[in-house]
Amino acid sequence: MAIGPVALYTVVAVAPSVLFWCALKVPAVLRRWRRRREPEMPAGPPIEKLAADLRRVHRLLAELPSGASAVKRHGTRQAYDALLVQACREVEVDHRLDELPEGFDRGIERLRVEESLAERGVSVS
């Protein structure tokens, strides 16, 4: 007969702590659960737009007149490299464009990256 009052006392003593713990933890658990169910949003622009921008800037770079200023040539190349880096990130191609200084090695890396992107369906030219 003594178990009834002891059990009731235990419930009354523990219930506020359990309710307080639930009030703190349940919203965080629900937020994590909702985030897991939501589709992941891409970080950058759609790959189709990125490919179109790559082709456009590649064409600008190829059509630069021989008398174009060094600043314009360098700026266009930098824009092209930035687009190549974005495309590499989207289709998971390794690159070293950020590491290499401007010059012959970077030009070779640019060609390698263009070929790797073409193999994955992102045509540059």
C-alpha span between 110 and 88 (Å, rounded) = 11
Residue 49 has a pLDDT of: 92
Residue 27 has a pLDDT of: 87
Tokens 């009731």 belong to residue: 8
C-alpha span between 119 and 111 (Å, rounded) = 12
Residue 2 has a pLDDT of: 64
Residue 109 has a pLDDT of: 94
Residue 1 has a pLDDT of: 52
Residue 39 has a pLDDT of: 72
C-alpha span between 97 and 83 (Å, rounded) = 11
Segment-wise mean pLDDT, segments of 10 residues, the chain, 125 residues: 75 85 86 79 81 94 90 93 93 90 92 93 85
C-alpha span between 111 and 92 (Å, rounded) = 17
The long-range contacts involving 62-71, CB below 8 angstroms and separated by at least 24 positions, are none
Question: Token pair of 25, please?
Answer: 């933890």
- The answer to whether 95 and 84 have CB atoms below 8 angstroms apart is yes
Residue 58 has a pLDDT of: 94
How would you classify residue 103: left for phi > 0, otherwise alpha for psi between -120 and 50, otherwise beta?
Answer: left
